[in-house]
Structure 1
Amino acid sequence: MINAFELASGRLNQVHIESQADLAAVRPIWIDFVDPTPEERGWAEELFGLALPDPEDLGDIEASARFFTGDLGELHLRSDFILDDEHDTRSIQTAFVLHNSVLFSVHEEDLPVFRLLRMRARTQPGYVENAKDVLLDLYATDAEYSADALEGVYAQLEQVSQKVLNTHVTDEVAAEVLASIAREEDLNGRIRRNALDTRRAVSFLMRERLLNTEQFEEARQILRDIESLDGHTSFLFDKINFLMDATVGFININQNKIIKIFSVASVALLPPTLIASIYGMNFEHMPELGWSFGYPFSLLLMVLSVTAPFLYFRHKGWLR
């Protein structure tokens, strides 16, 4: 799928591209390729003299090759964007190519950051003025989206805290809590990695000296926003580690309770075992062998030897 965007009265006008003729008829500042076919990528090469990368190959490049200038003077950037929904969280790799005042973007799935930018640029006149504005605003919107995602992580961790700290934690609750913590830790880690990637991309644009004064200041503001995200992710990692340690601690307490019960039971059963062992000996000179009440006496003695330790342990609170 291809969407081209033209400036009309200061707003982005979206044009859905169905053929090469449609692409040739527009004067875009941004062309967005979502899971393009080889034929659609070929249209861009024929019309703009530019070979676009295959989305399936974006994850195979080296980290050092994510930002560079091509043979035609075009800028190439490879960035990750977070896609967070109710069932899954993943990073979507996106390729940007800035060539002849046109921004080309290639990715496999439509992203919330791209949808939000399109909505703003369609409704707010002057929101973007050229391709570099679009690229910077995508990174700025990505920082906003990451901040919102971090707020969601914090809200989920607050719910986990209520389960861990305010109620009796059973093994079933602990398993549910650990699963929730693992998901939020993964999302927090992805956001931190995404923020680092965005910082590198924005810093590359600043080093290339292609930004005007206003755009350069916007880039610096994006870097400040990302710096604040770093502090927030570090705080959330500390909270995640605390909740993980607390949950594992409750699991250990539950296990210790079970072991304690078995230990108390084994200790309580030692005296009757000793009594049974003594009266199970077959020596000739044992006074109780000829006693008619010997058998019930030994049973009563064993019951008392079990009951007394249990009463003592209960009094000490060791059975709780």
Structure 2
Amino acid sequence: MLNIFTLVNGRLFQEEIESLEELARFKPIWVDLESPSPEEIRWIQQHFGVNIPADALDDDIEESARFYEEDNGELHIRSDFLIDDHETPRSIRVAFIMNLSNPELRSKGVLFSVHKEDLPVFRLLRMRARRMPGLIEDAKEVLLALFDTDAEYSADTLENVHDVLEQVSASVLKGKVSDSQAEAALATIARQEDINGRIRRNLMDTRRALSFMMRSRMLNAEQFEEARQIMRDIDSLESHTTFLFDKINFLMDASIGFLNINQNKVIKIFSVASVALLPPTLIASVYGMNFANMPETQWRLGYPYAIVLMIMSALLPLWYFRRRGWLD
């Protein structure tokens, strides 16, 4: 899917392109390619003279290939963006391409983005740019606005993670926790830990991208200050992810501790039963020995006496354990 974005009266307007002739009628500042077809990539190359790398959508790339500048002045930035759909949270890599050095290129002042899926950050920026005139003025501000919106989306997601952990904390720390409740709590905690870890990684990636933009001297003074403000926001979010990691570890240990307590209760029942049955087992063994003169055969009440003796020998340890509180 090929979408272009143009500025009209300070607002960002979106157009879906279905042919090369239709593309030639617009002067966009942002060209967004979502799972582009080979034909759409060819349109971009013919109209803008920009080469889309073959590995633009690859997840496994060298770290040195995430941020670099071509000889023709093209800036290449690979950055990850979070998708939290409450089922399978994941990070989607986006390839950004921008050329601001050669005024003869038709791609001057145009940001190109290539990704596999539609991203919540992109949708949020499109909605804001349509409603707020003057939010974006050129391609560089589109990229900065995407990183700024990504930081806000990460902050909202971290707030949701904290709310979920508070609910888990209320259920785990209320007292008695069954195995099923502890199992559900562990599953929820594991998912929140995954989201928190992905956000921390994406924030680190965004920080590196902003640092590359600041070092490349592509930003003016106002945009440079905006990039520094985004990095300060990222610093505060990273400290919050550390707090959430500590909370997750505490709840994980508490849930596993309740599981161990429940297992120990089961083992304690078997231990008490085995100790309580030792005396009657001993009595039964003595009375079952093959003596020449067996008490059971010579005494009419021998068998009832043996049974009563075994029951009393079993109840006595249980009474003692109950008195000591070992059965509570």
Which range, TM-score by smaller chain? Answer: over 0.9
CA contact (8 A) 2:57 2:114 kept: no
1:92 aligns with 2:92: yes
Q: Structure 2: how far apart are the matches of 1:25 and 1:259?
A: 77
Tell me the residue number matched to 1:283: 291
Q: Structure 2: how far apart are the matches of 1:90 and 1:54?
A: 23
Q: Structure 2: how far apart are the matches of 1:15 and 1:192?
A: 34
Q: Structure 2: how far apart are the matches of 1:213 and 1:190?
A: 32
Tell me the residue number matched to 1:32: 32
SS at match of 1:234: helix
SS at match of 2:134: coil
CA contact (8 A) 1:202 1:223 kept: yes
CA contact (8 A) 2:57 2:94 kept: no
Q: Structure 2: how far apart are the matches of 1:295 and 1:287?
A: 8
CA contact (8 A) 2:56 2:95 kept: no
1:216 aligns with 2:219: no
Q: Larger deviation: 54-63 or 154-163?
A: 54-63
1:237 aligns with 2:245: yes
Q: What fraction of aligned residue pairs are identical, expressed as a percent? A: 63
Q: 1:175 corresponds to which letter in structure 2?
A: E
TM-score (norm 2): 0.94
Q: Structure 2: how far apart are the matches of 1:169 and 1:288?
A: 51
**Number of residues paired by the alignment?**
320
1:6 aligns with 2:6: yes
How far apart are 1:200 and its partner, in Å? Answer: 0.4
How far apart are 1:315 and its partner, in Å? Answer: 2.3
CA contact (8 A) 1:101 1:131 kept: yes
CA contact (8 A) 1:79 1:94 kept: yes
* Deviations 1:112-159, CA, capped at 9 Å, x for gaps: 111111111111111011000000010000000000000010011111
Tell me the residue number matched to 1:80: 80
Q: Structure 2: how far apart are the matches of 1:167 and 1:81?
A: 39
Tell me the residue number matched to 1:51: 51
TM-score (norm 1): 0.97
Tell me the residue number matched to 1:311: 319
Q: Structure 1: how far apart are the matches of 2:56 and 2:291?
A: 87
Correspondence 1:151-230 to 2 at 5 A = 151-230=159-238
* Deviations 1:52-93, CA, capped at 9 Å, x for gaps: 135774213111210000132110000000011122211011
Q: Structure 2: how far apart are the matches of 1:36 and 1:24?
A: 18
Q: Flag the 1:37–1:287 CA change in 2: closer, same or farther, 3 A.
A: closer
Tell me the residue number matched to 2:15: 15
1:109 aligns with 2:117: yes
* Deviations 1:10-39, CA, capped at 9 Å, x for gaps: 111222211111111111111111111011
SS at match of 1:39: helix
Q: 2:21 corresponds to which letter in structure 1?
A: A
Tell me the residue number matched to 1:252: 260
Q: 1:44 corresponds to which letter in structure 2?
A: I
SS at match of 1:59: coil
Q: Flag the 1:181–1:311 CA change in 2: closer, same or farther, 3 A.
A: same
Q: Structure 1: how far apart are the matches of 2:181 and 2:278?
A: 36
Q: Return the match for 2:147 from 139, 146, 149.
A: 139
CA contact (8 A) 1:55 1:108 kept: no
Q: Larger deviation: 247-256 or 306-315?
A: 306-315
SS at match of 1:5: strand
Kindly report the root-mean-square deviation, in angstroms, between the aligned alpha carbons of the 2 structures.
Answer: 1.4
Q: Structure 2: how far apart are the matches of 1:127 and 1:56?
A: 28
* Deviations 1:213-270, CA, capped at 9 Å, x for gaps: 1000000011111111110111101111000000000000000000000000000000
How far apart are 1:292 and its partner, in Å? Answer: 1.9
Q: Structure 2: how far apart are the matches of 1:56 and 1:133?
A: 22
Structure 1: gaps spanning 5 or more residues: none
SS at match of 2:161: helix
Structure 2: gaps spanning 5 or more residues: 100-107
Q: 2:74 corresponds to which letter in structure 1?
A: E
Tell me the residue number matched to 1:118: 126
